[in-house]
A and B are shown apart, each in its own frame.
Chain A
Amino acid sequence: MILNEEQALLRETVAQFFNEKAPISELRSLAGASDEQGYDLQLWSEMVELGFPGITVPEVYDGLEFGWMGLGTIAQEAGRCLVASPLLSSVVLSQNLLLNCGSDAQITTYLPSLMSGEATATVALDEGRFFNPDAVAMSDASGTLNGQKDRVLDAGQSAYIFCIAEQASGERGVALVESSAEGVSIESRRTMDLHSSASIRLDGVPAADIVWLTGYDVASGIQKTIDQATIALSAEMMGSAREVLERTVAYLGEREQFDVKLGTFQALQHRCAHMYCELELAESAVSAALTALDHAAPNIGLLASSAKALANDCFTLISSEAVQLHGGMGVTEEMDIGLFLKRSRVCNQLLGSSSYHRDRYARLIGF
């Protein structure tokens, strides 16, 4: 990334903050918590104090309007420490869905409480085994909202759930329900990366408990939000990939076998050099996508799909190689390396696998 002075300062502050307040040991402590708890509330409130929720929000809504490159910087640094927080679920997904799909009145009603940290929200998008935003069965055809959603991030701690669903009119819409509403059941589970996500059942949620977002062009607002979140998640993944590659290169520079540092073996040097090439290639795609968001470029779908497919492939490669190159240590629970491996595989399924994005890219180009 090329950062201007303010962004560089932000990076420094954020890196220091996560290193101090959210080292990987913090993530590990979640293992003993209940499945509903996906992040530490104290950490989150400090992130709020630093202004993270307002980072991309326009000034008219009291945000910092610091841009997506700024958010990408935070996401990357979070990725380096494998930070568990509602950054993706509430700040990126929910807030932007509200901004992109809500009316002005709806935005001013709900956004302040999200930005102040008083409440968090999440977005219920996926249905079934894989990410596929085109297949949505949840609907309010019968006058009440019914259906099932999967991989709803941090649902156990969210006050609001934005459900992507079919409206009675047949159009795709966004239904805002409170997680405590009648007919909402949330089944949380801890995924192997120690984050929390849930399957949610809506059984006859009454119309009175539903707020449909009524902004201008909801359908493209949904797509835009998905692209924004896809790019932000890709940035986080790049931070994790960079961290785990650095740890691996450092390990090979220390560990001795056959009376030499392992890092002197050319077979291992080439694998590391190859990973580094892949890392900077993917980083370039992610960086271009963040820039495009800041400039409201038109081809954002292509850039988002490229960024995510490249980030998926790159983080998958690097995290697997990292385990291998750590030898026996790599497969121990004690080392953090395994957590990067697991996080990578969870991220692959969030907001689209490489197969999904390669298919989408081809569709968008028309082949």
Chain B
Amino acid sequence: MSQPESHPLSKEALAEFRADVANWLEANCPLSQRQPIVREEQIWGGRRRVFPSSDAQQWFEACRDRGFTAPEWPVEYGGAGLDPEEAKVLKQEMTRLGCRPPLYCQGLWMLGPALLVYGNEAQKREHLTAICRGEIRWAQGYSEPSAGSDLANLKTKAEDCGDHFLVNGTKIWTTKADEADWIFCLVRTSDVTPKQAGISFLLIDMATEGVSTSPIPLISGESEFCQTFFDNVKVPKTNLVGELNGGWAVAKELLKHERKMMSAFEGMLEKPAMELLELADYAVGSDAQGRLNDAELRSDMSRHLMREAALGQLGERIYWQGKAKQVDPRLPLLMKHLGTSEAQAKDELILRALGDEGLSMEDPNVSPGLRKMVKQWAFNKSLTIAGGTSEVQLNIIAKRALGMPSGEGKS
């Protein structure tokens, strides 16, 4: 494929940018911050943020000050104003040097991109800046006990009280709500049909009176998410994003970014104690020719590695289509389902290979690194559920990519 020549930047300018960025990273990223990220040392920002080390703080602050926590956001909102091509170069250079992501935040991945489209100027200034400066940590308040895949069925009510809304109801599966400062919520502001037409998008400070959270334990033994309660919570009207009753459009824009992020989540996670190949060799051993002793595992691993590589190639294809202005809008719809199922396929290979050592998350005789992999296997079962289940993704693909007829078939 002769790569499309329509770069807004010349090859020279891009090469110069690459050199500049590489120098900057060399100078500003302490060696300790070029070690593979471990979960406990991820920097999530927020009012209660703590830095695991002074190096981590230095690296975060250097990125923050250069706008590199949100490279593609406009400079006036705290980003670096890079175009996609430059952002890709930055990412490549960071990967090459092994630099850790400077900031983790749902605000960065989900709310920010949606605010850039639907937020008003004041909202963008206030919230985008606080997000990329790592000052505010966000949670996502979409799902409710009776509104999962059928998100539009949500019931949390925001009543118009003149200068503010009065919010009552509950959200569930709210990731890290107990550590977040603000929450973006879908709330019901009208009972019209269709249900989608009565939803608004509200930003709520979780320090407001009447907001409370209660953690829910997961099968991986952790407690990633909470139920969040709203009991007569007063929210200023200025916190409405987009039109009143126009929240569904904002919600969908945001979901697009959430799914994109989830399909590529692996790169941001803690690297497993051992790579798949190393692990398989350690656990099942290899013959004199270097072939794994378990032939079926070996074949399944090949299949997985090929598919994982093809996923990367699909991502590249989408990227270059964008650059060449030959966008096939169907392709991004596939990424979440394909990416998350392949991540789970890998976890299953790991568990198979581990044999006896894969049977406990707590056994002190098993190395902590391996136990973490077992926990990851359990935790990653949520990948095909969170952010729109795989079944919902397949519904979307059938309708929007294949144009299959809607209307429920009866039999």
Residue numbers of A with Cβ under 8 A of B are: 1-4, 7, 67, 69, 249, 252-253, 258-266, 269-270, 272-274, 276-277, 280-282, 284-285, 287-288, 290-291, 294, 305-306, 309-310, 354-355, 357-359, 361-363, 365-367
**With A2-B1, A2-B321, A291-B1 given, is the CB distance from A258 to B401 under 8 Å?**
no
Stretch at the interface among B140-148, B175-183, B308-316, B372-380: B308-316
Report B-chain residues with C-beta under 8 Å of the C-beta of A274.
394
Q: B303 an interface residue at 8 Å Cβ cutoff? A: yes
B402 within 8 A of A: yes
Question: In terms of DSSP, what is the predominant structure of the interface of chain A?
Answer: helix
Interface stretch, picked from B34-42, B98-106, B149-157, B331-339, is: B331-339
Q: How far is the CB of A227 from chain B (nearest CB, A)?
A: 15
- Among residues of A, the one whose C-beta sits closest to the C-beta of B323 is A2
Alpha-carbon gap, A71 to B1, bound state (A): 11
| B1-A265 in contact (CB<8A) | no
Pairwise interchain contact A359-B306, C-beta atoms closer than 8 A: no
Could you tell me if A281 and B301 are in contact, using CB atoms closer than 8 angstroms? no
A273 touches B338 (CB 8 A): no
Q: Which residues of B contact A305 (CB under 8 A)?
A: 306
Contact B334 A277 (CB under 8 A): yes
Among A258, A260, A273, A366, the most chain B Cβ lie within 10 Å of the Cβ of A273
29 contacting pairs across A/B (C-beta < 8 A): A2-B4, A2-B317, A2-B320, A2-B321, A4-B2, A253-B404, A253-B405, A269-B404, A270-B395, A270-B398, A272-B398, A276-B330, A276-B397, A276-B401, A280-B314, A281-B307, A281-B338, A285-B310, A288-B313, A288-B316, A309-B302, A354-B303, A358-B299, A361-B305, A363-B291, A365-B277, A365-B305, A366-B290, A367-B298
Within 8 A of A (CB), among B372-404: 391, 393-395, 397-399, 401-404
Check B1 against A294 for contact (C-beta < 8 Å): yes
CB-defined contacts of A294 to chain B, threshold 8 Å:
1-2
The residue of chain B having its C-beta at the shortest distance from the C-beta of A363 within the complex is B291
CB pair A309 B394 closer than 8 Å? no
In the bound complex, do residue B402 and residue A272 qualify as a contact, i.e. CB atoms below 8 Å apart? yes
Q: Which of A260, A272, A285, A355 contacts B407 (CB 8 A)?
A: A260
Contacts of B292 in A (CB 8 A): 362, 367
How many angstroms between the C-alpha atoms of A333 and B106 in the bound complex? 55
Complex: A2 Cα to B4 Cα, angstroms? 8
Contact residues in B for A262 (Cβ distance below 8 Å) = 409
In Å, the complex CA distance between A290 and B2 comes to 11
Give Cα A280–Cα B280 distance, bound, in whole angstroms: 29
Chain B, Cβ-Cβ closest to A367: B277
**B281 at the binding interface (Cβ < 8 Å):** yes
The smallest beta-carbon distance between B308 and chain A, in angstroms, is 10
State the B residues within 8 Å of A (CB): 1-4, 277, 280-281, 286, 290-292, 298-299, 301-303, 305-307, 309-311, 313-314, 316-317, 320-321, 324, 326, 330-331, 334, 337-338, 391, 393-395, 397-399, 401-411
The reply to whether B2 and A67 form a contact with Cβ atoms under 8 Å apart is yes
Q: Which residues of B contact A4 (CB under 8 A)?
A: 2, 4
Chain B residue with Cβ nearest A309: B306
Nearest residue in B to A262 (C-beta to C-beta)?
B409
Given the interface pairs A69-B1, A265-B409, A273-B401, the reply to whether A284 lies near B302 with Cβ below 8 Å is no
A287 touches B307 (CB 8 A): no
The answer to whether B310 and A282 touch across the interface, beta carbons within 8 angstroms, is yes
A276 touches B391 (CB 8 A): no
Decide: B397 and A362 in contact? CB cutoff 8 A. Answer: no
The docked-state distance in angstroms from the alpha carbon of A310 to that of B391 is 23
Q: Are B302 and A2 in contact, with the CB atoms below 8 A?
A: no
Evaluate contact between B404 and A281: CB separation under 8 angstroms: no
| Given A69-B2, A288-B316, A309-B306, also A263-B334 (CB < 8 A) | no
Contact check: which of B301, B311, B409 meets A258 at CB < 8 Å? Answer: B409
Asked if B302 contacts A264 (CB within 8 A), the reply is no
Q: Is there contact, CB below 8 Å, between B314 and A281?
A: yes
CB pair B310–A306 under 8 Å, yes or no, is yes
Taking a contact as CB atoms under 8 Å apart, the answer to whether A258 and B1 are in contact is no
How long is the Cα–Cα vector from A23 to B309 in the complex, in angstroms? 35
Asked if B302 contacts A359 (CB within 8 A), the reply is yes
Q: Are A269 and B286 in contact (CB under 8 A)?
A: no
A-B contacts besides A2-B326, A249-B403, A280-B331, 6 pairs, CB < 8 Å: A261-B409, A269-B402, A273-B402, A282-B310, A284-B311, A285-B306
Q: Shortest CB–CB separation between residue A203 and chain B, in angstroms?
A: 36
Chain B residues with CB below 8 A from A280, complex form: 314, 330-331, 334
Chain A residues within 8 Å of B404, by CB? 249, 252-253, 263-264, 269, 272
Closest CB-CB distance, B396 to chain A, in whole Å? 8
Residue of A nearest to B298 (CB): A362
**Selected contact of B398 from candidates A273, A284, A290, CB within 8 Å:** A273
Query: Considering only CB atoms, which chain A residue lies closest to B289 in the complex?
Result: A363
> Which residues of the other chain, A, contact B2 by a CB distance below 8 angstroms?
4, 7, 67, 69, 294
CA distance A259 to B410 in the complex (A): 8
Instruction: List the B side residues contacting A282 at CB < 8 Å.
Output: 310
When chains A and B are docked, how far (Å) is the Cα of A309 from the Cα of B402? 25
Cα A65 to Cα B402 with chains together (Å):
36
- CB closest residue in chain A, given B306: A306
Is A367 in contact with B286, judged by CB distance below 8 angstroms?
Answer: yes
B313 pairs with A367, CB closer than 8 A: no
| Distance between Cα atoms of A150 and B401 in the complex (Å) | 42
> Are the CB atoms of B1 and A1 closer together than 8 Å?
yes
Contacts of A261 in B (CB 8 A): 405, 407, 409
Q: Which residues of B sit under 8 angstroms from A365, Cβ to Cβ?
A: 277, 305
Q: Which of A263, A310, A367 contacts B280 (CB 8 A)?
A: A367
B411 and A2 contacting across the interface, CB-CB below 8 Å: no
Compute how far the CA of A265 lies from the CA of B409 in the bound complex, rounded to whole angstroms: 5
Selected contact of B397 from candidates A264, A273, A281, A291, CB within 8 Å: A273
Q: Which one of A258, A274, A277, A287 has the highest number of Cβ atoms from chain B below 10 Å of its Cβ?
A: A277
Query: Which residues does chain B contribute within 8 Å of A357, judged by CB atoms?
Result: 302
Residues of A within 8 A of B298 (CB): 358-359, 362, 367
Contact A269 B398 (CB under 8 A): yes
Residues of the A chain whose Cβ atoms lie less than 8 Å from the Cβ of B402: 249, 269, 272-273, 276
A282 to B311, CA, bound (A): 9
Minimum Cβ distance to chain A for residue B28 (Å):
33
Distance in angstroms from A159 CB to nearest chain B CB is 34
* Chain B proximity of A195: nearest CB distance (Å): 27
Give chain A residues whose Cβ lies under 8 Å from the Cβ of B391: 270
The reply to whether A258 and B310 contact each other, CB–CB distance below 8 Å, is: no
Nearest chain B residue, comparing its CB with the CB of A305? B306
Which residues on A sit within 8 Å (CB–CB) of B305?
Answer: 361, 365
Q: How far is the CA of A282 from the CA of B310 in the complex (A)?
A: 7
Take A69-B1, A269-B395, A367-B281 as given contacts and tell me if A310 and B299 are in contact as well, using a CB distance cutoff of 8 Å. no
A356 CB, min distance to chain B CBs, angstroms: 11
Given A276-B401, A277-B338, A309-B4 contact (CB < 8 Å): no
> Which are the 3 A-B pairs with shortest beta-carbon distances?
A269-B398, A358-B302, A265-B409
